Amino acid sequence: MVQRNCFSINYEAPPLVEVAMSVQFDPPKRLSLAHLGAFWDRQKEAFPHVRAVQPIATTSEAFGSQWLPPSLQLALTNEPDCRLQMVSSDDQWMCQVQLNRLVINWRKRSEVYPRFDSTWTRFQSTLHVWQEFLSEYKIGPVKSRLWELTYVNRIPKGELWQEPADWPGVFPGLWGGNFATVQDGFLRGFHGQWVWELADPPARLYVEPKPGRTSEEPPQDLLLLSLTARGPIAEEGAEATFDGPSVASLIEAGVEVGHKLIVETFDAIASDAAKKAWGRHENVE
């Protein structure tokens, strides 16, 4: 069991709307789309609703070397051609599985945020069922490659910002000053990505702000901020297989690193006004 990070930082009302925890692995030769359907059959009680969608793109990322934007990375992989989305009856939790990835998502459907431990507990339980399923069908060994953790935040236009030019006042840790003023022009939005890296243990954090809009009527403008941490499950030159006894511990250690990186970076880039609006406080032992 990994020792939980005891953060002194806490947010009573964070703008968080989604958390996704996943593991990417090499697609086993004997694993088929029919197997994915059989796996859902075992998950129907927890996830009674299911739909097939396009797969999540395979991530090809080298750690311990100079970072390059994804468009410059070479990825010689065959993409899986289907992803099953299995959804809980309250629409709050989702399990996604494709030929090279397993994902657990929490989506905000009420005011209650279940915290990181709840997501990990769900993921660990689903991973165990997936391991047993692969073993029963004699599919393996399955080589796990990457852990990934994503937090998606939604900040609506209103209290903290009125125009995209106000965004540096929400996250000054991303934008150190005001945006340039263009004569007769109006800044309508921004789409970029910031990348932080840890050397030991190896991990990267991708922070991406972008404009958005709700689908409800009347539509509401949004500032969306996603933070995605990712890292290798095994050390360079080593392999972690799903039938190995320690793979869950290795994944847990990875997402713990990602969780700490996301929480501390979010807190570092947010303004004092934003922290106050989201109920930030220090935990007292």
Ranked by mean pLDDT, the top range of 24-28, 62-66, 97-101, 114-118 is: 97-101
Exposure on the CB side of residue 226, measured as CA atoms within 13 A? 17
pLDDT of residue 285: 47
Amino acid at 127: L
The pLDDT mean for the chain works out to 87
Distance separating alpha carbons of residues 13 and 87, to the nearest angstrom: 25
Mean of the pLDDT values across residues 61-88?
72
Find all residues with CB under 8 Å of 4, minimum gap 6, and list them.
Answer: 117, 256
The DSSP secondary structure of 186-225, one letter per residue, reads --------EEEEETTTTEEEEEEEEEEE-SSSSP-EEEEE
Q: Which helix (H) or strand (E) holds 281?
A: strand 280-282
- Domain assignment present for 1: no
Mean of the pLDDT values across residues 215-230?
93
Exposure on the CB side of residue 40, measured as CA atoms within 13 A? 21
Residue of 234 and 132 predicted with greater confidence: 132
- Domain assignment present for 211: yes
Number of compact structural domains in the chain = 1
- Domain assignment present for 226: yes
pLDDT at 95 over 70: yes
% of the chain beyond a pLDDT of 70: 87
Going by C-alpha positions, the residue among 205, 178, 202 that lies closest to residue 268 is: 205
Least confident range of 7-16, 82-91, 116-125, 196-205: 7-16
Distance separating alpha carbons of residues 167 and 210, to the nearest angstrom: 10
On whether the CB atoms of residues 102 and 23 are closer than 8 A, the answer is yes
- Domain assignment present for 64: no
Distance separating alpha carbons of residues 230 and 237, to the nearest angstrom: 18
Mean of the pLDDT values across residues 220-245?
80
Provide the residue range defining the domain that includes 266.
9-59+76-282
pLDDT of residue 7: 62
Find all residues with CB under 8 Å of 79, minimum gap 6, and list them.
Answer: 55, 57, 58
- Domain assignment present for 192: yes
pLDDT band per the 50, 70, 90 thresholds, residue 69: low
- Domain assignment present for 4: no
pLDDT tens, residue by residue, 99-141: 999 999 999 998 777 889 999 999 999 999 999 999 999 997 7
Distance separating alpha carbons of residues 248 and 71, to the nearest angstrom: 31
The pTM assigned to this predicted structure is 0.90
pLDDT of residue 263: 94
pLDDT of residue 195: 92
Distance separating alpha carbons of residues 157 and 220, to the nearest angstrom: 7
What tokens appear for 185 in the block? 């022009």
pLDDT at 236 over 80: no
Largest CA distance in the chain: 67
What tokens appear for 28 in the block? 């086993």
pLDDT at 77 over 90: no
pLDDT tens, residue by residue, 163-194: 999 999 999 999 977 777 777 777 776 668 89
- Domain assignment present for 253: yes
SS3 content of the chain, % helix, strand, coil (to 5): 25, 30, 45
- Domain assignment present for 181: yes
Residue of 3 and 89 predicted with greater confidence: 89
Distance separating alpha carbons of residues 105 and 96, to the nearest angstrom: 8
Distance separating alpha carbons of residues 256 and 120, to the nearest angstrom: 9
